[in-house]
Amino acid sequence: MNSTDTAQGQGNKTARPLSLSGHVGFDSLPHQLVNKSTCQGFCFNILCIGETGIGKSTLMNTLFNTNFENFESSHFEPNVKLSAKTYDLQEGNVRLKLTIVNTVGFGDQMNKQESYQHIVDYIDTQFESYLQEELKIKRSLHNYHDSRIHACLYFISPSGHSLKSLDLVTMKKLDSKVNIIPVIAKADTISKSELHKFKLKIMSELVSNGVQIYQFPTDDETVSSINSTMNGILPFAVVGSTEEVKIGNKMVKARQYPWGVVQVENENHCDFVKLREMLICVNMEDLREQTHSRHYELYRRCKLEEMGFRDTDPESKPVSLQETYESKRQEFQVELQRKEEEMRQSFVQRVKEKEMELKEKERELQTRFEQLKRMHQEEKAKLDEKRRMQEDEINIFSKKKAATELLQGQTFNTNSSNLKKDKDRKNAGFM
Ordered DSSP codes for 288-318: HHHIIIIIIHHHHHHHHHHTT--SB-TTS-B
In which element (H, E) is residue 272 found? helix 272-276
CA distance 157 to 74: 18
Within-domain flag for 95: yes
CA distances, 277 to each of 16, 237, 265 (Å): 39, 14, 11
Instruction: Supply the pLDDT for residue 110.
Output: 65
Domain assignment present for 366 = no
Confidence of residue 77 (pLDDT cuts 50, 70, 90): low
Q: How many CB atoms lie within 10 A of CB 43?
A: 18
- Mean pLDDT, to the nearest integer, of 86-90? 87
> Range with the lowest mean pLDDT among 20-34, 41-55, 193-207, 414-428?
414-428
Q: Read off the pLDDT of each residue in 306-334 and give the average, rounded to a whole number.
A: 72
**Residue 7: is its pLDDT beyond 90?**
no
In a domain, 203, yes or no: yes
User: Minimal CA–CA distance to 174: which of 216, 120, 103?
Assistant: 120
How many domains does the chain contain in total? 1
Name the pLDDT band for 311 (thresholds 50, 70, 90).
low
Residue 313 lies in a domain: no
Q: Is the dihedral of CA 173, 179, 185, 187 positive or negative?
A: positive
pLDDT range class, residue 9, cuts 50, 70, 90: very low
Kindly state whether residue 295 falls inside one of the protein's structural domains: yes
Task: Map residue 425 onto helix, strand or coil.
Answer: helix
Q: Which domain holds residue 169?
A: 38-307
What integer pLDDT is reported at residue 297 of this predicted model?
92
Is a pLDDT exceeding 50 seen at residue 422?
yes
Distances (CA, A) of 144 to 82, 138, 335, 399: 21, 12, 37, 118
Q: Is the pLDDT of residue 242 over 80?
A: no
Which of the two residues, 287 and 424, has the higher pLDDT score?
287
Q: What is the CATH number of the domain that holds 257?
A: 3.40.50.300
What pLDDT score does 383 carry?
A: 92
Could you count the other beta carbons within 10 Å of the beta carbon of residue 420?
10
pLDDT tens track for 350-369? 999 999 999 999 999 999 99
pTM listed for this prediction: 0.69
Give the whole-number percent of the chain exceeding pLDDT 90.
20
CA 137 to chain centre: 26
The answer to the question of residue 285 being in a domain is yes
Q: What is the mean pLDDT of the chain?
A: 83
CB atoms inside a 10 Å sphere around CB 286: 19
**182 upstream amide cis, omega within 30 of 0:** no
Question: What are the φ and ψ backbone dihedral angles of 52, each rounded to 5 degrees?
Answer: -65, 130
d(CA 329, CA 54): 52
Q: Is residue 49 part of a domain?
A: yes
Look up residue 431 and give its amino acid: M
Q: Give CA–CA dist 401/390, Å, rounded.
A: 16
What pLDDT is recorded for position 6?
Answer: 46
With respect to residue 68, please indicate whether it lies within any of the assigned structural domains.
yes
Give residue 295's pLDDT band: very low, low, confident or very high (50, 70, 90): very high
Q: What is the largest CA-CA distance in the chain?
A: 199
- Count the Cβ atoms, other than its own, within 10 Å of residue 335: 10
Task: Lay out the sheet containing 244-247: strands in order across.
Answer: 244-247, 250-257, 260-263
In angstroms, the first-to-last Cα distance of the chain is 193
Find the mean pLDDT for residues 109-127. 83
**Alpha-carbon distance 62 to 239, whole Å?**
9
The 3-state DSSP class for residue 252 equals strand
Among the listed ranges 67-76, 94-103, 369-378, which one has the minimum average pLDDT value?
Answer: 67-76
Does the structure show a pLDDT above 60 at 202?
A: yes
